[in-house]
Structure 1
Amino acid sequence: ACTMENSRLPGEKWQDVVFYVEGEYPSGKLTWFPRPCMHCENPSCVDVCPTRATYKAEDGLVLIDWNKCIGCKYCMIACPYGVRYFTDEKPKVEPDIRNTFPGKAGRSWNPPYRMPDDQQDWSIGVGIQPRGVVSKCTFCVHRVRNAPEGVADLDPSDPELREFTPACVVTCPPGARYFGDLDNPESQVRRLIAEKRGGRLLDHTGNKPQVYYLTGDSFGVPSSRA
């Protein structure tokens, strides 16, 4: 869903899923968690950007202005979550399969799913980005910002709100993802975080991520992946 909605290249994912093993054989348990951009309240990536291409918007989203990005990768180094990607590089665990798509080599850069031109906006990192810039999850800002004002939660089961909800939330088969206003005490996300003791990744960094995991247990990043 994220790939199609955001015109990602084959093998390039903004929504990485981390798999790891808890415990030791024979009682070890394979588990996993999704890892989007955390859209931190105090983002370290913003502080290090020399051109102010990475910025925190008034609505709380952390975005990249591709018009200003010079590809220095300082923000990638500063991000403790590893959720930023340089468009001329591919994740080492993924094969580069661009050339398997039909067409000439020069066209293989184009993703198989293309966002309509009228929805693309480089100032918020949305659309077909140029080479040599950093990209990341935007929480589908091009959808979210069109939502009716004052809505506390974007519930994909509500037909009037579905088109404004992030693509990953809409398509999650078990409905395990929620998106709403953390500043609204009446929102569903605030209630779920309190009831299920929601945890945040690497909270000790001071970044104050705005993505919570409803684990009910202490939550951290594993030392090794499966």
Structure 2
Amino acid sequence: MVIDLETCTGCQACTTACAMENNRLPGENWQDVLFYSEGEYPNLNLSWLPRPCMQCENPSCVSVCPTKATYKDEGTGIVLVDWNKCIGCKYCMVACPYGVRFYMDEAPAVEPDVRAEFPASGRRSWNPPFKMPDEYEDASKGIGIQPKGVVSKCTFCYHKVSQAPAGVADLDEDNPETKEFTPACVRVCAPKSRFFGDLDNPDSHVNALIAEKGGVRLKEETGNKPQVYYLSGGGSPAVPGNRSRRS
């Protein structure tokens, strides 16, 4: 995934689309947008940073999981959680340097707790009226209604992208042949700041963007090798105190 920070408006359409697509609780955002403010009015500067799961090439969450519930899908390189194996120990949450994992049994991030309004029986944690079709759910990949006592995370809409035709270089909302396989956050991005494609394909648009605009990754020092690249005018990604992307 490539995210262009120079065109992103911080509208959070990606956050909303992801929540609806993946049955997220209010406040538990797989596609979060972090906002930073500096200074005081009238000299107040506001910046933002979209933050999905980085789908690391060398994910620390995988190496610490005692039950092998967290794993990398061989076909796509996407990091997934097998809810059938997850014991909710939270080791992966501690190991993730990006803070993009969620444990369902915590206190609700937003009141009232909608789980009480839409209860579900069995292991399911709740039963939202907008839940995805049952045929899309796959607990072995962390897709669907999150059960109680397990960890969840962004899957890059695995249930969509994994069905894309073989050999496709990019998944694009504007391409009728690939739009239904494109991640929800990419599809709804109004300023077209998000791009999704195959980094192993030298002809992909994401490869061209990274090369032409100097794509950078967060926390390179960790050795996780994220597969999410930010375009920021050749500078560093937006972080508190760093205004280079606005120059």
* Cα deviation 1:112-153 (Å, max 9, x = unaligned): 411111110001100012100000100000000100000000
1:209 to 215, 223, 226: 226
Pick closer, same or farther for the CA change 1:104–1:111 going to 2, 3 Å.
closer
Contact 2:47 2:238 in 1 (8 A): no
1:150 to 152, 155, 167: 167
Contact 2:120 2:127 in 1 (8 A): no
User: 2:240 maps to what in 1?
Assistant: 222
Aligned mates of 2:27, 2:184 — CA distance in 1: 18
* Cα deviation 1:40-94 (Å, max 9, x = unaligned): 00000000000000001112100000000000000000000000000112575x4
1:172 to 183, 189, 206: 189
Q: What is the Cα deviation at residue 96 of structure 1?
A: 4.5
Q: Which of structures 1 and 2 has the larger relative contact order (alpha carbons within 8 angstroms, sep 6+)?
A: 2
| 1:163 maps onto 2:191 in alignment | no
Pick closer, same or farther for the CA change 1:222–1:157 going to 2, 3 Å.
same
User: 1:190 maps to what in 2?
Assistant: 207
Contact 1:11 1:95 in 2 (8 A): no
* Structure 2 residue runs without a partner (length 5+): 1-16, 242-247
Aligned mates of 1:142, 1:96 — CA distance in 2: 30
* Cα deviation 1:131-182 (Å, max 9, x = unaligned): 0000010000000010000000001101111000000000111111000011
| 1:199 maps onto 2:216 in alignment | yes
RMSD: 2.2
Size of the aligned set, in residue pairs, is 220
1:42 to 58, 69, 72: 58
5 Å-filtered alignment, 1:47-62, equals 47-58=63-74, 59-62=76-79
Q: Which amino acid aligns with 2:57?
A: E
User: 1:17 maps to what in 2?
Assistant: 33
Q: Any idea what SS the aligned residue of 1:195 has? A: helix
1:3 to 11, 19, 30: 19
Q: What is the Cα deviation at residue 222 of structure 1?
A: 3.2
* Structure 1 residue runs without a partner (length 5+): none
2:153 to 116, 136, 140: 136
Contact 1:182 1:189 in 2 (8 A): yes
* Cα deviation 1:6-63 (Å, max 9, x = unaligned): 11123321111100135x4565521101111000000000000000000011121000
Aligned mates of 2:44, 2:212 — CA distance in 1: 28
Between Structure 1 and Structure 2, the one with more strand by share is 2
**Alignment identity in percent?**
66
Contact 1:8 1:111 in 2 (8 A): no
Aligned mates of 2:119, 2:207 — CA distance in 1: 49
Q: What is the Cα deviation at residue 221 of structure 1?
A: 4.0
